[in-house]
Amino acid sequence: MSRANDRARNFARLLKKITKSPVKPPQDVGDPVAVLVMSFLMWDCTSSKAVTAYKRLMDRIVDFNDLRVSLPHEMVELIGSRYPLALERCQRMRATLRHTYKREHAVSLERLAGLPKREIKNYARSLDGIAPYVADRMTLLCFGTHSIPVDDRLRRALVRADACAESMETIALGSWLARRVKAADALDSHYALQAWVDRVGDRAPATASAKGAAGTRRKAASASQAKVAASRAK
């Protein structure tokens, strides 16, 4: 329990620090499908790369229905084959757009505005191919759900900063963070965390407590090895 409390305090201190300065949000458009596409590009990637890839897509497609009927390899050509997780990202995006069309008879998510927020979150997360980060980011930005989008990049950075347990998966971490951020602060907190992980990358500087914990683990491992060596010597 003590370690969990320490990590919760570390996260609170981190969030307080990174939200002091105004954060310029990445290029997002009000249309939920546009935000969905941008969120797919930002998932496990930097904001700057996502903005560049989004502009490339917008320059080449007629509308999002055009993107829906594009083949994954054609989408990869648009964003660039060196884009992180390019093929998987495009396969997932296409699957989500196709499922949206199947449900709504159009590439549109405007109908969600009339649903309760819990239903909105469940609907988004049930779309084929969608990643939790993408669903949570789109519903947060467009419908004001209480969500903190988490991908592997953010999870690794928070683990490195000793602000969450290494064993915590992204979905569980998103719920854990949401319990520590007020709904009214969720959007600003998301932008601040995104800017922070863009700046520090996966390998955020380790905190003093993280270094201490690592030192304790090394000492315990050394002690265990010494006991094994002693027993063998007998």
Say if residue 220's pLDDT is above 50. Answer: no
pLDDT per residue as tens digits for the range 15-67: 999 998 778 777 777 899 999 999 999 999 999 999 999 999 999 999 999 99
Q: How far, in Å, are 21, 158, 193 from residue 169 at the CA level? A: 29, 12, 17
Cα–Cα distance, 163 to 159 (Å, whole number): 6
Domain boundaries, the chain: 2-200
Cα–Cα distance, 118 to 168 (Å, whole number): 23
CATH topology of domain 2-200: Endonuclease III; domain 1 (1.10.340)
Task: Tell me if 64 sits within 8 A of 37, measured CB to CB.
Answer: yes
Please say whether the dihedral angle defined by the alpha carbons of residues 104, 144, 175 and 22, taken in this order, is positive or negative: positive
Q: How many CA atoms lie within 13 A of 116 on its CB side?
A: 3
Q: How far, in Å, are 31, 115, 228 from residue 126 at the CA level? A: 20, 15, 50
Question: Can you give the pLDDT at residue 62?
Answer: 94
- pTM of the complete model: 0.84
Tokens, residue 92? 């997932």
Say if residue 231's pLDDT is above 70. Answer: no
